[in-house]
Structure 1
Amino acid sequence: MKNGNSWNYPGYRVAMVKSEVFGTRPSLLKPILVDLPDITLFTDLWLITAIEKINPDPLSRYLLIKECLSREEFFQTDLNLLQPFLKKSVPHWLIHLDDGKVLLEWEETPYEEVTEDELVERIIRKTGCKMEPGKGKGSAQASPFSRFFRD
């Protein structure tokens, strides 16, 4: 039954959708899950896909990227923990962007420092995407990787 701006279901708590600022939304689960033993909580995950019209091969059009917001997070994150949940065809990378430099860990190297242009080239090559210039500017409130795609 609809009640104002929300739906009312017996036995369920009704809540409004949280406000969103530049692609970020506060998590209700993070405070609950972060301290539980045997649970690794990953945030700042990006799934990059090429649409079928651009790359019809489902084995090469996906890429999962974990953005690390600090160098410490980059060196402490074990992205292989995600491996059991991913199809073998989905490569997963770890990145940290810092003033035009990118720390990158991917399947062919433990980690290396590359430029933003090199990162763009590798994403395009890996997914078969095409590069199209962004139309908007990234916000200071957005993550570095979000701004990277917009700027």
Structure 2
Amino acid sequence: MCTYFHTMDSPIGCLTLYATDNALTAILYQHQTPQPETATYMPQHPLLIECERQLQQYFAGTRQQFNLPLAPKGTDFQQRVWQSLSTIPYGVCWSYQQLAISIGNIKACQAVGMANSKNPLSIVIPCHRVIGKNGKLTGYAGGLDKKQTLLALEQEHA
């Protein structure tokens, strides 16, 4: 299966978008480990173009939900967590405990946190909407400054 990529500028820095022929597989920040070295640069790939268009709308405050075929790679547990992340409404924050409850395992807060940190589809699968139980910002693959920016953007347009 071929993997394609394209980079885009955004208000939170350069993002690299990855897709196969059928689905988006990753959105990574500049400092994150890239996808397979065999990925082919293809800025005109229709799915990458659509992803960039929807991300631009999100950053402009005119899109609250993404409509893209997704295929993040992860364990069954990670997939369950990422699916649950996708249900967090725009402009709303959940705690790790709420996320653990949503997958039916209140005792899995730490495991949920680890799965959240492995989310390869930042922004589209909104892991930035998960905060500490005390309301404080906690880790984010893009950095806490980017997490704060995303949350502020959503609060402004919610």
RCO greater where, 1 or 2, for CA within 8 Å and sep 6 or more?
A: 2
In the superposition, the TM-score normalised over structure 2's length comes to 0.27
- More strand as a share of residues: 1
Taking structure 1 as the reference length, what is the TM-score of the superposition?
Answer: 0.28
- Richer in helix (by share): 2
